[in-house]
Amino acid sequence: MLWTEKYRPSKLAEVVGQEHFVMDATTWAVSKEMPNLLIYGGSGTGKTTVALALANSVLGKDTPSNFFEVNASDDRRLETVRTRIKEIAQSGKIGDVPFRIILLDEMDGMTNDAQAALKRMMERYSKNIRFIITCNNRNKIIYALQSRCANYHFKRIGFEVVEEVVTKILNDEEQSFNADELRQFIYAFNGDLRRTITELQASIATGSRLSVQVENGLKQYEKIIIEITNKNPNEVLTNLHDLIYDGFSIKEICIGLHDYVIASEMDSNTKLKFLRVIGEGEWRSLNMTPKLLASWMVGNLI
């Protein structure tokens, strides 16, 4: 069983690293009332987890009949809102619950037309349904939706908190690592708790050292940098597009490229050039589509 699922918190009290949200959510669980929510932040910060924990706390034993999850980046069309989501919003509550809850995960992948249709649905069925919207980039959510939700930013989980969670998992699994090696491993994943746990389980399953697991994670970025150095723009674009299609955000790709460049032995001038473009690429990811930004980065790196 995947450790990310085995050790996923099911109660609000078990959620770590996002105390500002948990405090408010605990109040909603007691009162059985809550606003529509927009939760945004980086990967592995607990957005989906808190949505599930909140639903369990508000809906209790009737959660399976009244909680629905839609991956908005997969079901991104306007028709999805008009059919599937509308059908859930219109249907009656089952059991003794105040309302039904829909989790729209990765909402920044949904089209603007679909988001606009969702805005009207929020208003029309407010007595029967609450929406929890999660996304990496709030700027890709139309303002009309942002203004109809309580907005919560999920920051990267602190190093000490990640270390505490990982140490508990290792104790439960009767595994151990050198303390210094474990700290370096945790630091490499920049507060992404989900990826940290996934890579930890992979390391144990393959019997590899934690440092080797980190290096393996950087190989995809090594390949990109090599193709840049060899002046092969088409190969670089193909590799970047493959990562995007695999679900990596531009921000995550930039962090991976940054970590590889920092650890590399390239000369200082080249390293500084790469870091400047990568840094600007991460900043531009707030306003540019991933494929266009990938092309922009290749044009500036080669």
pLDDT in tens, 11-36: 898 888 899 999 999 999 999 999 99
Tokens coding 85: 């989501």
Has residue 166 got a pLDDT over 70? yes
Q: What is the third-level CATH fold of 3-154?
A: Rossmann fold (3.40.50)
Has residue 260 got a pLDDT over 60? yes
Nearest CA to 40 out of 197, 186, 146 is that of: 146
Which bin fits 106, alpha (ψ -120 to 50), beta or left (φ > 0)?
A: left
**Distance from C-alpha of 300 to C-alpha of 250, rounded to nearest angstrom:** 16
Do 106 and 133 meet the contact criterion of CB atoms below 8 Å apart? no
pLDDT interval class at 65 (50, 70, 90): very high
Per-residue confidence (pLDDT) for residue 78, from 0 to 100: 63
**Distance from C-alpha of 176 to C-alpha of 187, rounded to nearest angstrom:** 17
Per-residue confidence (pLDDT) for residue 66, from 0 to 100: 92
Has residue 47 got a pLDDT over 80? yes
For CA atoms 197, 198, 200, 205, give the dihedral sign.
Answer: positive
Per-residue confidence (pLDDT) for residue 274, from 0 to 100: 93
Per-residue confidence (pLDDT) for residue 52, from 0 to 100: 93
Per-residue confidence (pLDDT) for residue 302, from 0 to 100: 86
**Distance from C-alpha of 232 to C-alpha of 248, rounded to nearest angstrom:** 22
Mean pLDDT for 229-243 is 90
The residue ranking higher by pLDDT, 195 or 61, is 61
pLDDT interval class at 79 (50, 70, 90): low
Exposed e or buried b for every residue in 282-293, given b needs 16+ CB within 10 A?
A: beebeebebeeb
Listed in sequence order, the residues at least 6 apart from 33 whose beta carbon sits closer than 8 Å to its beta carbon are 98
pTM over 0.95, yes/no:
no
pLDDT interval class at 86 (50, 70, 90): confident
Where along the chain do its domains lie? 3-154, 158-207, 219-302
Per-residue confidence (pLDDT) for residue 75, from 0 to 100: 54
Q: What is the pLDDT of residues 127-139, one digit of tens each?
A: 889 999 998 888 8
So what's the architecture of 219-302 in CATH? Up-down Bundle (1.20)
What does each C-alpha distance from 204 to 43, 57, 179 come to in angstroms?
23, 34, 15
Has residue 64 got a pLDDT over 70? yes
The residue ranking higher by pLDDT, 208 or 97, is 97
Has residue 283 got a pLDDT over 60? yes
Chain mean pLDDT for the chain: 86
**Distance from C-alpha of 281 to C-alpha of 188, rounded to nearest angstrom:** 20
Per-residue confidence (pLDDT) for residue 76, from 0 to 100: 56
Has residue 80 got a pLDDT over 70? no
Would you tell me how many other CB atoms lie within 10 Å of the CB of residue 276?
A: 12
**Residue 212 phi/psi, 5° resolution?**
-65, -40
